[in-house]
Amino acid sequence: MQQNVNCAVWFRQDFRISDHPALAMACTFAKQYGSQVKALYFVTPQQWAEHDVAAIQIDFIERHVNLLAQSLAKIGIELTVVQLNTFADIAPWLSEFCAVHDIGVIYAANEPEFNERQRDAALIDASLPLHLLDQDCLLAPGSVQNQAGQMYKVFTPFAKEWKKQAASILIKPLKAAIFEVPIDVPAPIHFSLGDYYPNPVSSESWDCGEGVARDMLTRFLKQDVADYQLQRDFPALEGTSRLSPYLAIGVISARQCITAILYYYPDALINEASPAKTWLNELIWREFYRHLLVAFPRLSRGQNFNLLGNNIQWRNDADEFSAWCKGQTGYPIVDAAMRQLNQTGWMHNRLRMVVASFLTKHLLVDWRWGEQYFRQQLIDGDLAANNGGWQWSAGTGCDAQPYFRVFNPMTQSSKFDPDASFIKHFVPEVADWSLKHIHEPHLKAQHINSMADLFSERAKQEKAYPAPIVEHGFARKRALEVLGALKRG
């Protein structure tokens, strides 16, 4: 390697400077050669449009690009934000950049999605000096395999092997990289995506920055993790970490989360009774879905994991889908969940399962419709987790919920929102209904829908909250027949 060859670090879904191996390697390189580190971030709107990235997530990313530029400036590294239309435009741009700035190596994180992997393969084929690092998961995709050397298709043995491997390594996050030969960099210019996204959705209700995410993590581990197992299924409680928006774009890393768990609960990887066990398991689910995406590229392309799913005759009724999207199904628990998504850009995990089951099983709408709608709304939109969650719910996925298990929205409602406080917040139309009617809306609807009541003064006062879109018993039976296509899966 020549002296004075510079290097670059390409930021992707990793908006942090701590525990960032690519940045750390770039800084080490530059120190060794007495050269410079350049930082890059590419905005490719066409790619985002194809992926249906939610406007609220784009806003969250925009805020983090600006924070990252400030953090990097403090350690003497200038972030260049490059707006190109597609991935294909990156190669010529990078070639010129490398030539002009004498760049010998570009460090970046591997990403699990198919298009991103194709992009990187093409860049390497074009002889660009891309050096990829696995820093997205604690254990790199491909490293947790069964005895036949294959990716697990069931979560539990994956998690067991994952824990065994994790326990055998020293898990230690990297400190914030310090660029040892800092130069003065110009104050970062505020970067805006406004030109590309004329209808932004503000993400201001979520604070920004890696310090914020680390504080949330610490608070959660100190105060809430021991109650997580008991509280995590109740949407009215703040029982989960709410770190997903930060993990999805790498404001905090999986390794930082897991190291923090081990700091407070050193035996969490080996003790089945550890208070942190359940939360750790969720982080392993995150890794499982990312490993799957790499092992089965078709998942990134919207294909069924279980190919028998191709035989399902989805009904795909556009009006029913629209009612589901708007939170107008007549099932208050489903509607409250969808309205939480529409109003806040986030939805509680229990409710993601409830609404996904309702759409795919009660309404027999293709899981891909729901998956896309989620991507268009979620601040934590993440292809691996979203695809995994949807296919799990529909029964088409790897380690899926069996097709014959159809969530009963009434039972889910009374069990997980017993006093209906969550429902009443998002569906004020039912606020003065009895609990029985909120949880079992068909009882109320039958009453209102009787011919005498339908046009009564009382029905008008109830602001026309719809009757249930489909009767549960009927829908369940129909789902079992149609999804029986998966029987031999």
Shortest reach from residue 381's CB to ligand FAD, in Å = 5
Residue 389 is a binding residue for ligand FAD (CB under 6 A): yes
- Answer for which of 282, 317, 429, 462 binds ligand FAD (CB under 6 A) is 282
What CA dihedral angle connects 278, 282, 288 and 290, to 10 degrees?
-160
Distances (CA, A) of 72 to 5, 82, 253, 361, 449: 20, 16, 18, 48, 62
Residue ranges in 283-302 that form contacts with ligand FAD under rule CB under 6 A: 283, 285-286, 289
Is 382 annotated for ligand binding?
Answer: yes
- Answer for which of 18, 66, 71, 244 binds ligand FAD (CB under 6 A) is 244
Helices and strands (DSSP H and E) totals, the chain: 23, 5
Catalytic site residue 349?
yes
Catalytic site residue 390?
yes
Our CB check for ligand FAD shows the closer of 103 and 337 to be 337
Residue ranges in 348-367 that form contacts with ligand FAD under rule CB under 6 A: 349, 352-353, 356
Q: Which residues of 426-459 are buried (b: 16+ CB within 10 A; e: fewer)?
A: bbeebeebeeebbbbbbebbeebeeeeeeeeeee
Give dist(CA 244, CA 279) in Å, integer. Answer: 13
What CA dihedral angle connects 386, 390, 393 and 394, to 10 degrees?
-170
Binding mask 451-470 for ligand FAD (x = CB under 6 A): --------------------
Our CB check for ligand FAD shows the closer of 379 and 423 to be 379
The active-site residue, picked from 346, 390, 392, 433, is 390
Listed in sequence order, the residues at least 6 apart from 312 whose beta carbon sits closer than 8 Å to its beta carbon are: 366, 396, 482, 483, 485, 486
Pairing verdict, β 130-133 and 103-109: parallel
Give dist(CA 104, CA 29) in Å, integer. Answer: 10
Task: Record the tokens describing residue 401, joined without a space.
Answer: 């919920």
Residue 406 is a binding residue for ligand FAD (CB under 6 A): no
Binding mask 199-228 for ligand FAD (x = CB under 6 A): ------------------------------
Give the footprint of ligand FAD on this chain (CB under 6 A). Answer: 232, 240-244, 247-248, 282-283, 285-286, 289, 349, 352-353, 356, 374, 378, 380-382, 385-386, 388-390, 393
Q: Can you say which residues are annotated as belonging to the binding site for FAD? A: 228, 240-244, 279, 282-289, 380-382
List residues forming the annotated binding site.
228, 240-244, 279, 282-289, 380-382
**Which residues participate in catalysis according to the annotation?**
282, 285, 314, 349, 367, 390
